[in-house]
């Protein structure tokens, strides 16, 4: 089995998702700048995986620090944190992970007031490396819990439509939306997946089709605009997607095209599920209107594998995400259970049962 991301002695090792499915190659980021660049260029992507990468990037940056004083180390931490935070604006897991690393950093510095500066620095470095690895391990466990909660929502056999990649590649492992699919398959259900190719970056064609095929889960690739047709024809039992950020009212930011699927699902009486860890929840915002939507480059739309597919100099828009209003969302599947309308209440209840303010994602 492939590993989406892992901590190694040499740095942060990740499967290069820009090279899949043609080549299964791994890249080791040897400093935090390389981790930030890997996030920016989508070598690693998917909100939970971005969170793990951000944590590992921070750990790597601090580990390599040559600061001699706590004051110097704090200043360096801020530079590292800012560099990592500025890579992508929409997935809140990135900011969640950096915040969690900052809290661990500060608490490790405070832990033993009598320690020397050198001892404090050494301990902070060790604690951050430990915490980043814990975030990875937790993420996998969280996804397995999402799968356990979500699988009973699916019938014993049927076709699930998914968009983008909310699978093992989008997370530490197992996946959110595809975690639900995997758990259902493990429970003996006969699941077939329609994978939207997900233009422009083709995460569905390149990643979802690849990882499901590797697991022997039947998958059929379609273009994004075919989803509605198959829903109308009664060939889709449920839609399950991941999320990049969920507002406290249940509005969901996810890969561009998700809103369209939600509208089509409701029009056709098909349940529309969002599977995401609580770390994707942004309780600080009241609605999806407050979620920043990343606009990516025109070249990702106009070129494919270096081949131009549109006239030169054509005007392009490229919002990488959209917001699905909560009224279209049948349920949000989290590691703590399932939230339904009214989300303002159900999400708050799930969120406040989480382990600690420092780590909203519970250790499951």
| Strand, coil or helix: 215 | coil
Q: Taking CB under 8 A as the rule, does residue 205 contact a second copy?
A: yes
- Shortest approach of a second copy to residue 258 CB, angstroms? 8
> 21 vs 271, which CB is nearer to a second copy?
21
Q: Taking CB under 8 A as the rule, does residue 228 contact a second copy?
A: yes
- Shortest approach of a second copy to residue 34 CB, angstroms? 26
Cis previous bond, 229, omega within 30: no
Please, how many CA atoms are within 13 Å of residue 221, restricted to the half-sphere of its CB? Answer: 16
Q: Taking CB under 8 A as the rule, does residue 173 contact a second copy?
A: no
Out of 2, 157, 218, 234, which residue is the one contacting a second copy (CB under 8 A)? 218
Residues from 101 through 160 that contact a second copy (CB under 8 A): none
Site string (8-47) toward a second copy, x via CB under 8 A: -------------xx-------------------------
Out of 35, 136, 178, 209, which residue is the one contacting a second copy (CB under 8 A)? 209
Q: Which of 148, 213, 231, 219 is nearest to 186 (CA)?
A: 148
Residues from 268 through 327 that contact a second copy (CB under 8 A): 301-302, 304-305, 307-312, 314-319, 322-323
- Shortest approach of a second copy to residue 321 CB, angstroms? 9
Contact 252, 225 (CB under 8 A): no
DSSP 173: S
> 83 vs 235, which CB is nearer to a second copy?
235
Q: Taking CB under 8 A as the rule, does residue 256 contact a second copy?
A: yes
> 110 vs 317, which CB is nearer to a second copy?
317
For residue 243, give Cα distances in angstroms to 47, 150, 185, 282, 322. 7, 15, 22, 11, 10
Please enumerate in sequence order all residues whose Cβ is within 8 A of that of 354, keeping only pairs 6 or more positions apart, or say none: 278, 336, 360, 361, 362
Q: Taking CB under 8 A as the rule, does residue 251 contact a second copy?
A: no
CA angle at residue 336 from 330 to 338, to 5 degrees? 15
The count of residues interacting with a second copy (CB under 8 A) is: 53
> 28 vs 297, which CB is nearer to a second copy?
297
**Element spanning 85, H or E:** helix 70-85
Out of 226, 283, 285, 364, which residue is the one contacting a second copy (CB under 8 A)? 226
> 115 vs 213, which CB is nearer to a second copy?
213
Q: Which of 139, 224, 244, 282 is catalytic?
A: 244
Q: Residue 18 and residue 38: Cα distance in Å, rounded?
A: 10
Annotation marks residue 244 as catalytic: yes
Residue 99: exposure state from Cβ atoms within 10 A (0-12, 13-18, ≥19):
middle
Residue 315: exposure state from Cβ atoms within 10 A (0-12, 13-18, ≥19):
exposed
Residue 337's region, left for phi above 0, alpha for psi from -120 to 50, else beta, is left
Segment lying near a second copy (by CB under 8 A), choices 8-16, 44-52, 119-127, 190-198: 190-198
- Shortest approach of a second copy to residue 134 CB, angstroms? 33
Q: Taking CB under 8 A as the rule, does residue 239 contact a second copy?
A: no
Name the phi and psi angles at 226, rounded to 5: -90, -15
Enzyme catalytic residues: 244
Task: Name the residues that contact a second copy, by CB under 8 A.
Answer: 21-22, 194, 196-200, 202, 205-206, 209-210, 213, 218-230, 232, 256-257, 259-260, 263-264, 267, 301-302, 304-305, 307-312, 314-319, 322-323
């Amino acid at each position: 089995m492939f590993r989406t991301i892992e901590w190694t002695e040499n740095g942060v090792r990740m499967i290069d998702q820009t090279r899949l499915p043609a080549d299964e190659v791994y890249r080791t980021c040897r400093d935090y700048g390389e981790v930030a660049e890997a996030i920016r260029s989508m070598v690693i992507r998917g909100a939970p995986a971005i969170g793990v990468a951000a944590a590992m990037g921070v750990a790597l940056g601090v580990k390599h620090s040559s600061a001699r004083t706590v004051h110097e180390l704090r200043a360096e931490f801020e530079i590292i944190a800012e560099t990592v935070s500025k890579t992508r604006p929409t997935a809140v897991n990135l900011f969640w992970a950096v915040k969690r690393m900052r809290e661990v950093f500060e608490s490790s510095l405070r832990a033993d007031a009598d320690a020397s500066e050198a001892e404090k620095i050494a301990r902070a470095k060790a604690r951050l490396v430990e915490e980043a690895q814990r975030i990875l391990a937790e993420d996998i466990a969280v996804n397995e819990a999402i799968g356990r909660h979500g699988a009973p929502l699916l019938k014993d056999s049927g076709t699930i439509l998914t968009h983008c990649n909310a699978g093992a590649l989008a997370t530490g492992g197992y996946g959110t939306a595809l975690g639900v699919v995997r758990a259902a398959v493990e429970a003996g259900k006969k699941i077939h997946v329609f994978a939207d190719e997900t233009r422009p970056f083709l995460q569905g064609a390149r990643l979802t089709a690849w990882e499901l095929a590797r697991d022997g889960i039947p998958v059929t690739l379609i273009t994004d605009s075919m989803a509605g047709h198959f829903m109308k024809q009664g060939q889709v039992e449920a839609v399950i997607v991941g999320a990049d950020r969920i507002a406290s009212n249940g509005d969901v930011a996810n890969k561009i095209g998700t809103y369209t699927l939600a509208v089509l699902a409701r029009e056709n009486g098909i349940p529309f599920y969002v599977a995401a860890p609580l770390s994707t929840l942004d309780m600080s915002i009241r609605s999806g209107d407050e979620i920043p939507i990343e606009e990516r480059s025109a070249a990702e739309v106009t070129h494919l594998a270096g081949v131009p597919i549109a006239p030169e100099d054509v005007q392009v828009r490229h919002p990488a995400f959209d917001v699905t209003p909560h009224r279209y969302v049948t349920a949000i599947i989290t590691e703590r259970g399932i939230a339904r309308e009214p989300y303002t209440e159900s999400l708050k209840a799930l969120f406040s049962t989480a382990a600690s303010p420092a780590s909203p994602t519970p250790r499951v």
